[in-house]
Amino acid sequence: MDEIKKFNLISMKVSVVTPNYNGERFLKTFFESLNDDSDYIGEVIIVDNGSTDGSKEYIKSNTFNFPVILIENTENLGFSPAVNQGISKAKYEYIFSLNNDTELKKGSIKALVDLASSNDNIFSVQAKMLQYNNKELIDDVGDEYNLLAWTKKTGENHKSGEYSEVCEIFSACAGAAMYKKSLLDRIGAFDDNYFAYMEDVDIAIRSKINGYTNLLCPDAVVYHIGSATSGSRYNEFKVRLAARNNVWTVYKNLPIPMKIVNFIFLFLGFFIKYVFFVKKGFGSTYLAGIREGLSTRGKLEKVKFEGRNTKNYFKMEYRLIINTIKFLKK
């Protein structure tokens, strides 16, 4: 029995993959919370994007309850390339993509693995993300995407006791999500072109095209500071990249029939966003992001349409419609 228990524990171990850019101030809390779940951690892969704040020295000078692999980049390559570097080095089937500005509640990794392993059709499972500075409020329990090409954090600012059941979500937030390495190998990892923002929605769309499911795991809890690396909620960097990546997401993932059917909604979505950012003082920045997305779309690898996935496109279109209706009702 002891041997069986030992085998089961080993098979449940995960590779934690975390990008880091000048995040030394978060690392003590981050690693201490991981230590509490160390029985289920096979390795922690920190991909440092050219930090100059002592992050690398902190990691090298401390010991942890699990192997820590430090990948040192000489510059900030962005979130997507960093996570992909970690995935390529990972030894285990379960990849836990986790931001450095987080604190993990004990037992969360086991809960994620238990849910992820319960069905071969599950692509990703997301932890319940609560606000670090107000743990009674939700930060994110899954990202929804609609016909307007808008992404919305589900549950934001709701009470932490809500969303207490496992449920399907459109996309897991890559700040605290577990993926299966075998499925990432099959449909592709994060798109390196994205640098940051929308990369998790992009990969979620690809998972849905291929018939996989993304779920919320409410028994896994992560306290998240948020915008720790990029700064404020709205700034030129975030607005431009998000606008560019939104164009890319539509271009590369939706087949021509879906683009045609949804054109009026897509146009309205981008136009309303432009008006919104004009009022915020970022109108020209948003337009610059749109122009960049359109002018550089040729470098992207489009998702090839396959007839066997036709029903999955219909299912996704239905979900986009439902998400749009929910948004308009609010």
What's the mean per-residue pLDDT of the chain? 93
Which of 202-211, 220-229, 320-329 has the largest mean confidence? 202-211
pLDDT at 6: 42
pLDDT category at 5 given cuts 50, 70, 90 is very low
Contacts of 245 (CB under 8 A, 6+ apart): 194, 197, 198, 199, 202, 293
Q: Quick: pLDDT tens for 56-93.
A: 999 999 989 999 999 999 999 999 999 999 999 999 99
Whether 196 and 79 have beta carbons less than 8 Å apart is answered as yes
pLDDT category at 4 given cuts 50, 70, 90 is very low
Conformational region of residue 78, where left means phi above 0, alpha means psi within -120 to 50, and beta covers everything else: left
Contacts of 272 (CB under 8 A, 6+ apart): 148
DSSP letter (8 states) at residue 104: E
Contacts of 280 (CB under 8 A, 6+ apart): 234
Q: Quick: pLDDT tens for 183-216.
A: 999 999 999 999 989 999 999 999 999 999 999 9
Question: Which long-range CB contacts under 8 A does 230-233 form with residues at least 24 apart?
Answer: 230/196
Confidence check: pLDDT of 2 > 60: no
Q: Quick check: helix, strand or coil at residue 144?
A: strand
Whether 143 and 198 have beta carbons less than 8 Å apart is answered as no
Scan for tokens 């449909």, then name that residue: 187
pLDDT at 31: 96
Whether 102 and 225 have beta carbons less than 8 Å apart is answered as yes
Confidence check: pLDDT of 284 > 50: yes
What pTM was estimated for this model as a whole?
0.92
Question: Which long-range CB contacts under 8 A does 305-310 form with residues at least 24 apart?
Answer: 305/255, 309/209, 309/210, 309/211
Confidence check: pLDDT of 229 > 80: no
